[in-house]
């Protein structure tokens, strides 16, 4: 079945995107804490130099990133790629290949891990951006991995609460909410919506 073009946005510097992908049916993207940690380490290596991360969530069989693509100097991508879009797609591909090789070697399996071309949706406007943050942060609760927002270590919600070094740009996101207190309050107000929401984007 052809992919809806909405899910295949072209990356442009200065714009925000929701990026997500899942595994083949029945496979796990992560099996233990080391698997999650390594994926985040490789995200720092391949992706974080080129984006401002607004939120993320890693689930057993899929992940979500929400970020703004930074401005790139021409020399960063032009030697090998014709556009910033192709450059960032390649960085994401490197992340996926690295994780697939790691999981195959660790768990004595072979073949692909991800089920499809990764999806990316442009996120335009602050209200849409806030809804995306809610969506990603409630994801692990919706999927019954945890019953609380704050106790899941592989969601960026945890980073906002602990005020510790991490992947997200806290100041930018908290600015959308008017500070940490409102950030927490507005997340709690979304509980009934996101627990009953059908997560079609996955």
Query: Token match 């991360």: residue?
Result: 53
3: DSSP letter: P
Q: Given a cut of 50, is residue 127 above it in pLDDT?
A: yes
Instruction: Locate the domains of the chain by residue range.
Output: 5-196
Nearest alpha-carbon partner for 193 in 129, 125, 121, 131: 131
pLDDT digits (tens, 9 = 90+) for 142-177: 888 888 888 899 999 989 988 778 999 999 999 999
Fold of 5-196: Alpha-Beta Plaits (3.30.70)
Task: Give the pLDDT confidence score for residue 25 in this predicted structure.
Answer: 81
- pLDDT exceeds 80 at position 183: yes
Query: Per-residue pLDDT tens for 186-198?
Result: 999 988 777 665 5
Contact criterion met (CB below 8 Å) for 190 and 132: no
Tens of pLDDT, residues 116-126 = 789 999 999 99
Alpha-carbon span 31 to 52, nearest angstrom: 27
Percent over 90 (pLDDT), the chain: 75
Asked if residue 12 lies in contact with residue 83, where contact means CB atoms within 8 angstroms, the answer is no
Query: pLDDT tens for residues 90-99?
Result: 999 999 999 9
Q: Note the pLDDT of residue 53.
A: 98
pTM over 0.85: yes
Looking at every residue in the chain, the average pLDDT score rounds to 91
Q: How many CB atoms lie within 10 A of CB 142?
A: 16
Q: At 202, is the pLDDT very low, low, confident or very high (cuts 50, 70, 90)?
A: very low
Per-residue three-class SS string for 64-119: EEEEEECCCCHHHHCCCCCCHHHHHHHHHHHHHHHHHHHHHHHCCCCCCCECCCCE
pLDDT digits (tens, 9 = 90+) for 31-70: 999 999 999 999 999 999 999 999 999 999 999 999 999 9
Predicted pLDDT at 142: 85
Residue 69, both tokens = 């693509």
Report the alpha-carbon distance of residue 18 to residue 37 in Å, rounded: 21
What contacts 122, CB < 8 A, 6 or more positions away? 9, 15, 16, 17
| Distance in angstroms (rounded) separating the CA atoms of residues 94 and 183 | 33
Q: At what angle do helices 170-177 and 126-137 cross, to 10 degrees?
A: 110
């Amino acid at each position: 079945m052809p992919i809806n073009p909405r899910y295949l946005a072209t990356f442009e510097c200065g714009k925000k995107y929701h990026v997500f992908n899942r595994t083949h049916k029945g496979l796990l993207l992560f099996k233990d804490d080391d698997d999650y940690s390594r994926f985040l380490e490789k995200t720092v290596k391949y992706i974080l130099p080129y984006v401002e991360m607004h939120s993320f969530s890693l689930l057993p069989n899929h992940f979500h990133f929400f970020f703004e693509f930074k401005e790139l100097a021409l020399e960063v991508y032009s030697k090998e790629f014709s556009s910033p879009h192709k450059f960032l797609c390649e960085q994401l591909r490197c992340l996926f290949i690295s994780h697939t090789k790691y999981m195959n070697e660790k768990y004595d399996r072979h073949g692909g891990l991800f089920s499809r071309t990764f999806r990316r949706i442009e996120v335009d406007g602050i209200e849409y951006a806030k809804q995306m943050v809610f969506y990603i942060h409630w994801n692990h609760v919706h999927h019954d991995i945890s019953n609380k927002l704050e106790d899941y270590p592989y969601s960026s919600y945890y980073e906002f609460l602990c005020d510790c070094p991490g992947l997200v740009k806290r100041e930018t996101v908290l600015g959308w909410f008017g500070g940490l207190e409102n950030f927490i309050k507005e997340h709690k107000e979304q509980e009934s919506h996101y627990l009953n929401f059908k997560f079609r984007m996955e």
